[in-house]
Amino acid sequence: MTSATPSALESALLIVGDRWNLQIIRSCFQGARRFQDLRNELSISDAVLAQRLRGLVASGVLRTESYSVSPPRHEYRLTDAGKELWSVFVAMWSWDRRWAPGSPGALGTHLIHLPCGNAVTPVFGCGQCGAIGVTARDTETTLDENDAPRGATRSRRSTATDLGEFRDSTVVLADRWSTFLLAAALLGAHRFSEFKRRLPGISPFTLTERLGVFVETEMLSRAPVAEGAGRHEYLLTPKSFDFFVVFALLNGWAEHSLADGRGGSSGLLITHRACGEPLVPRFTCNCCNQELQRREVEFQTRHSGRGYGAEGTA
């Protein structure tokens, strides 16, 4: 029996499992603060933008600050918790560079490590023991079944065509059922019945559709089950294994930013087998081997040289 209150991890998945939320947060990292700036930049309706902003403020990712009394106006700034999503966005960018190099988020964009001045490729590792190059295969997960991610009760409706065209991390995460499906796969679900058990709110039709899209886009591979004629299991691919870094950082963010009142736990423990301790996800610089810090990295575009920092707006 699952808890009526979403776990910290499920809350995090609900926040990022929305296309508009992701785009709003990214725009705030790039310096957008005011309603009209976000509306014009994202080509989003006033009603949808207002709804998403209210949700992001309620979840503690954004805060409001008045800049005009008459008429009353306020702007939206990243909270400390919102700024800590920087590493998740770095992980998404890094995944895009490998698996979606032609996507807008990766094309012509470099991550600069300001202390050494180099354009870097972030190296994922464990901050507990200092190991670098950690992958999903180097870890084991323990899920609190009472806090298991169950899926969204409502989400933006996506068609199979929409999802079938996804090529970058933003769109992988931007459909909530796809987000929860990938999370279930990373946590060990292989068969249709296992996905359905982990995601009780999903209809058989939607689950079949999403699994088909994941196979088509090589996020999962489908293999026949020996003991069942016509039955299949769905296995992680190198492409989806690499997405573990995004998932691990999001889980770490959930634990540090959303777990108050939940016993300080995200609902998922990721253990680094080599040191036997809970994984402390971190990035290091492949040029100087120093840990990447939020205030010390900046995205720059190749042609304009314009940059924006992961510190976001103060």
Over residues 305-314, the mean pLDDT reads: 54
DSSP per residue, 241-279: HHTHHHHHHHHHHHHHHT-TTTTT--SEEEEETTTTEE-
Paired tokens of 305: 């040289």
DSSP per residue, 116-170: TTEE---EEEETTT--BS--GGGEEEEE-GGG-----SS-----HHHHHT--SHH
pLDDT of residue 231: 86
- Beta-ladder partners of 277: 272
Q: CA torsion, points 144, 147, 149, 155, in degrees to nearest 10?
A: -170
Paired tokens of 304: 């304009």
pLDDT of residue 156: 46
Over residues 97-112, the mean pLDDT reads: 84
pLDDT tops 60 at residue 157:
no
pLDDT tops 60 at residue 52:
yes
Closest by CA to 181, choosing from 149, 153, 225, is 149
- The answer for residues whose C-beta is within 8 angstroms of residue 245's C-beta and 6 or more apart is 91, 94, 95, 124, 281
- Residue whose structure tokens are 């209210």: 54
Lowest mean pLDDT among 7-11, 155-159, 167-171: 155-159
| Per-chain mean pLDDT for the chain | 87
pLDDT tops 80 at residue 255:
yes
pLDDT tens for 76-103 read 999 999 999 999 999 999 999 999 888 7
Indicate if the alpha-carbon torsion angle 213, 214, 220, 225 is positive or negative.
negative
pLDDT of residue 4: 61
Overall pTM > 0.85: yes
Over residues 14-37, the mean pLDDT reads: 93
Segment of 7-11, 77-81, 105-109, 216-220 carrying the highest mean pLDDT: 77-81
pLDDT class of 160 with cuts at 50, 70, 90: very low
CB neighbours of residue 145 within 10 Å: 10
pLDDT tops 50 at residue 154:
no
Over residues 54-60, the mean pLDDT reads: 97
294: which DSSP letter? G
Return d(Cα 78, Cα 163) in angstroms, integer. 29
Paired tokens of 57: 């403020």
pLDDT class of 149 with cuts at 50, 70, 90: low
pLDDT tops 70 at residue 3:
no
pLDDT tops 80 at residue 278:
yes
